[in-house]
Structures are given as structure tokens and as C-alpha cells.
Structure 1
Amino acid sequence: MSPLIELKNLTFNAHNKTILDIPEFQIHAGEFLGIMGPNGAGKSTLLKVLAFLDQQTSGNILYQGDAIPKGYVPLELRRKFSIALQQSLLLDGTVFHNISIGLKLRKIPKSIIKEKVEQWMDLFGVSHLAKKNALYLSGGEAQRVNLARAMIVEPEILFLDEPFSALDFPTKIRVMEDFKGIIESASTTAVFVSHDLMEINYLTNRLAIIVNGEVKQVGQTQGVLEHPNSSTASFLNEWKKFYPIAR
């Protein structure tokens, strides 16, 4: 089976510096792929390139085996993707309104929007907040709404850039537990950037380690964590001192 997304000989340059240099990289349908690495390694840049938010300098991005022309991403392909960032970036308006935005932009009938918003609010445990202004939510509430907004459009691929990092530990655990169940039930392909081994260990089934803009190791999450190669051992072993769960 061909990968869902594939990078070939991809580079990304900025400010006369090479940020990414990736000869080959693949994302497979149905996997929860983690991307981890030191600060400044290029994790978020890779995520943005994969989600077509940033344009590569050279190389090809293939979707289901077909190369996507550089600088032109068809709307129907963009609508297969959704993204949730560390900052929820909710709009001034009710929780219901924020979650419904993606469906409204797709001109879905109001009756279906109401049904789907109620369904996803229930799944993420925010039904009681439907009429509350999203700007006055707690951190955990806001991130649940953010994730519901990303998932309601039923994306083929969900891109996540450290969406749990700003949450306190008990809130993070509750949100991650609920989110993991939802993502598994929906069979959504997910790509997840994180600096936190606990999050990576709990959520992902495949892991890529990026260092200095290069993918140094990729494989099943437990295999990478338990058997880092010579290029990733220093980084991973340092993190394991603080996260015994990943040993």
C-alpha cells in the first residue's frame, strides 16, 4: 500500500539557512505519527510543510502517490486536512459558533451543522458550554473546543502542534485520554509534534526524531524509544531521565 503522504528530496530554506533537508519521509493512513526533536530542530516547520501551510524550497510532496504542484494545492485536498495548534485561537463568539465554522465554510445545511456540533461537543465534553463565549474558557475547555473544531470536518489527516503543552498536568491527562479514544474511534490519521515524551509515549504508534532539520530515526514508537540509534540516543536518553514512563 502506498503512503498517504510522501516527501521526496525535500528542502526548506529560510534566512539563507537550510531548515529542513529530508530525502524521504512517509505518513501512512490510520497511524498516529509523533514528531520529536530538540528545540529548533525543524519540527513545526515540517508539520507546516506537510499541511501545505509553508511551501517547500525544493523537492516533491506526494498525496496518495500523486505529486502536488508546488505553489498550488487544490481546495478539495486542503479540505482533507485540519490542524490544531498550541494556542487555541478561538474567535469572539459562542463555543457552538467556533466549532461550527468549518462546516459553515463548506456550506453544510444548518440542520446538519446543529446535529454535528452537538455530537462533537458531547464527544469532547463541552456541551454545557455551547452558549458560552469562547474567549472566557479555561485552558482545558479552550483546547477541547479547539480539537472539536478541528475534528468536526472529519479530516483525513489531523495535524497537531503541541496542543497540550500549555495545560496543567491533571487537565492534560483528562484531555489526552478523551482525545485518544476519539481519534481511535474515528480512524483519523494524525501527525503530532511534541517535546513531551509522556505525550508521545501515550498517544503515538509511530515516531520520527528530527535533529538539525534531518529525520534521524523513524519507526514504531516503543522501538525508537527503547532502541535509539547513534544519532538520537543522546537526545532521547536525556529526556528519559525526566520521563521514566518512556523507558
Structure 2
Amino acid sequence: MNPLIELQNITYKAHNRIILDIPEFQIQTGEFLGIMGPNGAGKSTLLKVLAFLDQQNSGEILYRGQTIPKGNAPLELRRKFSIALQQSLLLDGTVFHNIAIGLTLRKVSKSVIKEKVGHWMELFGISHLAKKNALYLSGGEAQRVNLARAMIVEPEILFLDEPFSALDFPTKIRLMEDFKQIIENAKTTAVFVSHDLMEVNYLTKQLAIIVNGEVKQVGLTPRVLEHPNSSTASFLNEWKKFYPVAR
């Protein structure tokens, strides 16, 4: 089976420093992949390269086996991706219109937009917020809107860059529980960057550990966490002092 996205001999440099050096990396269709590593390891940069938000210095990115020209990912391909960041970056307008923006830009009919927005608001438990200005939401409400906005366009890949990290613990747990069910039902391929072992352990099926810009270990999440290799043991064992591995 061909991977959905594949990196080959990717390097990324900034300020005369190598940020990423990745000979090979794959994302399979339907998997929920976590990316974890120390601060400054290159996690967010890797996500941006995968999503064509940043351009690699060398190497190739393949999508469904086809090489994508560097710096020239077509709009049709970009529209297959969605991204949700730590900051929700909502627009000044109603929750309804914030969630609908991706469909509006795609010139989807108003009747279909109404139906789909209603569906995703219900799934994320925010139907009662439809007419509220999105700039006046709580952190948890705003992140639910952010995730609904990302999911409504039915992306082939959803990229998540620490969307839960700014939330208080009870709000985070409730949203993660809902989101896990939603993403599993939708069967959406997802790539999730996090610095939090609890989040990764709860949500992901596959886990990649990146250290100093290099992917040091990839595998099933419980196996990576329970059996870190010599390159990842120091980082993971330090985390497990605070959060024992348990599913």
C-alpha cells in the first residue's frame, strides 16, 4: 500500500542551522500519527513541511506516490488539507460563519453550508453558540469552533499543532474525549504535534519521536512509549516520571 504522504531526503535549514534532516518519513491513509519531541526538536517545522506551509531546502514530497514540485503545491491539493493550531485565530463574526468559511470560499451552496455547519456544530456540542460572536468565546469553545471549521471541509489530512495545550485540564479532557470519537468516526488521517505525553498517549495510534531535527523512532504509540530506543529513552523516560504510561 502506497503511503498518503512520503518524505524523501528532506532537509530544512534556517539561520545557517539544520532544522530537519529526514531521509524517509511516511503517513499512511487513515492513521492518527503523533509527533513528539523536546522543545526545539523541529516538530512544528515538520508539520509545516508536510502541509506545504514551509518549503524544504532539498528532498522530495510525494502525495499518493506523485512527486509534488517544490514550492508549487497546487491549490487542489492544498484544499485536501486542514490545519488547527494552538491559537484558534477566529474571525470577527458569528460562530456559524467562522465554521462555514472553508465552504464559502469553495462556493458551496447556502443550503449545503447550512446543513453541514449544523452537523458539525452538533458533533462538537456548540449548536447553541451558532449566533454568538466568535471573538467572545471561552478557550474551550473557541477550540471546538476551530476544530469544527477544520473538519467541515472533510480533509484528507488534518494537521494539528498543539490545539489542546492552552486549555485548562477539565476543558482539555472533555474536548479530547469528544474529538477522539469524532476523528475515529470520520476516519480522517491526522497528524498531531504535541509536547504532552498524556495527549499523545490518549489520542494517537502511531507515534514519531523527533530529536534535533531527526526522526529517531516511529511505531505503534504504546510500543514506542513502553520500549523507547537508545535515541529516545532519555526524553521519554523523563516525561514518564510525570505521567506513567497507561492506556
TM more than 0.5: yes
Alpha-carbon deviations, 1:156-203, whole Å to 9, x = none? 000000000000000000000000000000000000000000000000
Q: Which runs of 5+ in 2 are unaligned?
A: none
Please tell me whether residue 56 in structure 1 is matched to residue 56 in structure 2: yes
User: What CA distance in whole angstroms lies between the structure 1 residues aligned with 2:246 and 2:216?
Assistant: 19
User: What CA distance in whole angstroms lies between the structure 2 residues aligned with 1:221 and 1:123?
Assistant: 26
Contact 2:226 2:245 in 1 (8 A): no
Q: Which runs of 5+ in 1 are unaligned?
A: none
TM-score, length-normalised on structure 2? Answer: 0.99
* Other-structure match for 1:232: 232
User: What CA distance in whole angstroms lies between the structure 2 residues aligned with 1:74 and 1:8?
Assistant: 19
* Other-structure match for 2:201: 201
* Other-structure match for 1:176: 176
What amino acid does structure 2 have at the position aligned with 1:198? M
What amino acid does structure 1 have at the position aligned with 2:57? T
What amino acid does structure 2 have at the position aligned with 1:110? K
User: What CA distance in whole angstroms lies between the structure 2 residues aligned with 1:210 and 1:241?
Assistant: 20
Please tell me whether residue 128 in structure 1 is matched to residue 128 in structure 2: yes
Contact 1:240 1:246 in 2 (8 A): no
- Where do residues 1-247 of structure 1 align in structure 2 (5 Å cutoff)? 1-246=1-246
- TM-superposed CA distance for 1:81, in Å, is 0.2
What amino acid does structure 2 have at the position aligned with 1:192? F
User: What CA distance in whole angstroms lies between the structure 1 residues aligned with 2:108 and 2:5?
Assistant: 28
User: What CA distance in whole angstroms lies between the structure 2 residues aligned with 1:67 and 1:168?
Assistant: 42
RMSD: 0.7
User: What CA distance in whole angstroms lies between the structure 2 residues aligned with 1:245 and 1:100?
Assistant: 39
User: What CA distance in whole angstroms lies between the structure 1 residues aligned with 2:228 and 2:199?
Assistant: 18
Alpha-carbon deviations, 1:102-156, whole Å to 9, x = none? 0000000000000000000000000000000000000000000000000000000
What amino acid does structure 1 have at the position aligned with 2:43? K
- TM-superposed CA distance for 1:244, in Å, is 1.4
Identity %: 85
What amino acid does structure 2 have at the position aligned with 1:203? L
Q: How many residues align?
A: 247
